[in-house]
Structures are given as structure tokens and as C-alpha cells.
């Protein structure tokens, strides 16, 4: 462990306990940002270089979650990724979006905003700061279009069994969206194993990145439906 400390300048003078909010920057970030700045100075608009790095980044993220690169899109925040996903859906026979009250605060507003497009948001209330599997079973209906499940809750670290939630969701004919921002980088994530339809995350926390980079995964079979 000691050999890794040299890559994180902040650890020279601080004990850092806030990676769950904003990770400490490692020195590789500084080198990458310096290269980006130099490319702007030298080339003005180095579009080809930017596209190359974007595609490389998409490939890394895809391998991290067990996806294909063509199933991944880059956004500047999870809020923008989720907005793009939800605004591409059709809310007809199935128009309910099932969420929990343990979602990251900003995402609830995005779900509610879809009501102007015909969606209806229903909220599962936590029990002792947890969401039990039977609560999903009880609340999913034949009107449920999509279920949103956080992998790890930002408020208390509560971790959900995504594989079991996936079974419940798909048995009802609904789709599953998972927010792994608070877990990716510390907990294995596999969209194939857990049969996840949609997933989002960003680089700000355990992926040791900076603000302004997020990813949206859409299962290949569902891309044309959006």
C-alpha cells in the first residue's frame, strides 16, 4: 500500500477520507491535463486527438463493466446521461418509473421531469435506511416501464443485490437502470452477469478522475429503441 502513496500528492500532508465524494488526484491526471493543454496550444483544435482519447476511454469503461464499446456513450455528468436516456423512451402502455428515496438527490428531479412526457414516477420508501427485495416485488406493476436501483447508496453505503433485483424486474417485463457511481472502482460490476439494461457512472469518485466525465451504458439490443 505504501508504494501507491507516492502517486497521490495530497497524502504527503493529509489523511484523505473523502474519496466517496471526490477522489484525491493522482499524478497521472496532472500529466494528462498538461498534455491536453499543450495540444490546445500547439494545434488549436486537436479534434482527431480528442476523438482518439474519447474512444480509448469508452473502451476502458466498457471493459470495466463487461460491456462492448459500442454500448457506451460519454457525457459530462450522470445527470446529462440519465436525461438523455429517459428522454429517449416512449411512455405509452407502460409509463411508470419506479425509484427509491435513497437515490442521489439530483436524479429524483430528472425522473420527475419525465412526467411532462407522459411518465409517472413512483417512489419506494426505505426501511431503516435499506430497500428490501420484497419492496421491489410489491411495488412493480404491469405499468412499470423502468426500475432505477442504486448499487451503493451515497448517504450510508447501503449495497443492493443487483442480480436479484434484475430477476424481479425482468420477470415483470420491466427494464433495469443502475447507478454505480458510488461503487465502481471498489466493487466488481458486470452488466452481463447481472443482466443490467442501462447503467451510469462517472470518474469523480473511485475511478480517480476529475469532474466533467461520465458514462452511459445501454444494452446493445435496446439502443435502437431510444
pLDDT digits (tens, 9 = 90+) for 16-34: 998 889 999 888 888 988 9
Residues 6 or more apart in contact with residue 128 via CB below 8 angstroms: none
210/145 Cα distance (integer angstroms):
33
Instruction: Give the pTM.
Output: 0.94
End-to-end CA distance of the chain: 44
* Residue that is written with C-alpha cell 419525465 in the block: 114
Q: For strands 175-179 and 198-202, give the pairing.
A: parallel
pLDDT tens digit sequence for 139-169 = 999 999 999 999 999 999 999 999 999 999 9
User: What is the bridge-based pairing of β-strands 214-218 and 72-75?
Assistant: antiparallel
CB atoms within 10 A of CB 155: 14
Q: How many residues does the chain have?
A: 226
Mean pLDDT value across the chain: 95
Question: Among all chains, which residue has been given the C-alpha cell 501507491?
Answer: 4
Structure confidence at residue 63 (pLDDT): 98
Say if strands 120-124 and 144-150 run parallel, antiparallel, or are unpaired: unpaired
Residue 216: half-sphere exposure toward Cβ, Cα within 13 Å: 19
Distance CA 16, CA 7 (A): 14
Task: Flag whether pLDDT at 222 surpasses 80.
Answer: yes
Local confidence band at 2 (pLDDT 50, 70, 90 cut-offs): confident
Q: How confident is the model at residue 181 (pLDDT cuts 50, 70, 90)?
A: very high
pLDDT of residue 170: 98
Residue 46's CB is within 10 A of a number of other CB atoms, namely 16
- Averaged pLDDT, 103-109: 92
Judge whether 187 and 151 are in contact, CB under 8 Å: yes
Q: Which CATH class is domain 47-225?
A: alpha beta
pLDDT in tens, 64-105: 999 999 999 999 999 999 999 999 999 999 999 999 999 998
Of 12-16, 66-70, 218-222, the range with the lowest mean pLDDT is: 12-16
Residue carrying the nine cell digits 417485463: 173
DSSP 25: P
| Per-residue CA distances from 178 to 10, 51, 101, 108, 207 (Å) | 32, 27, 14, 14, 17
Q: How far apart are alpha carbons 124 and 101 in whole angstroms? A: 6
Domain limits of the chain?
2-43, 47-225
Amino acid at each position: 500500500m505504501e508504494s501507491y502513496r507516492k502517486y497521490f500528492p495530497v497524502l504527503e500532508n493529509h489523511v484523505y477520507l473523502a474519496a466517496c465524494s471526490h477522489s484525491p488526484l493522482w499524478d497521472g491526471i496532472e500529466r494528462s491535463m498538461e498534455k491536453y493543454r499543450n495540444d490546445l496550444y500547439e494545434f488549436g483544435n486537436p479534434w482527431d486527438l480528442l476523438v482518439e482519447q474519447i474512444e480509448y476511454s469508452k473502451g476502458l469503461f466498457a471493459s470495466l463493466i463487461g460491456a462492448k464499446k459500442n454500448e457506451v456513450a460519454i457525457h459530462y455528468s450522470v445527470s446529462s446521461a440519465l436525461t438523455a436516456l429517459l428522454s429517449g423512451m416512449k411512455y405509452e402502455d407502460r409509463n411508470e418509473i419506479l425509484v427509491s428515496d435513497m437515490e442521489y438527490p439530483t436524479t429524483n428531479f430528472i425522473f420527475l421531469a419525465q412526467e411532462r412526457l407522459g411518465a409517472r414516477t413512483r417512489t419506494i420508501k426505505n426501511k431503516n435506511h435499506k430497500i428490501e427485495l420484497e419492496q421491489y416485488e410489491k411495488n412493480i406493476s404491469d405499468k412499470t416501464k423502468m426500475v432505477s436501483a442504486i448499487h451503493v447508496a451515497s448517504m450510508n453505503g447501503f449495497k443492493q443485490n443487483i442480480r436479484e433485483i434484475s430477476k424481479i424486474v425482468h420477470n415483470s417485463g420491466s427494464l433495469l437502470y443502475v447507478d454505480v457511481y458510488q461503487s465502481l472502482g471498489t466493487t466488481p460490476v458486470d452488466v452481463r452477469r447481472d443482466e443490467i439494461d442501462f447503467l451510469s457512472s462517472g470518474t469523480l469518485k473511485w475511478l480517480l478522475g476529475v469532474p466533467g466525465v461520465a458514462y452511459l451504458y445501454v444494452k446493445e439490443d435496446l439502443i435502437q429503441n431510444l
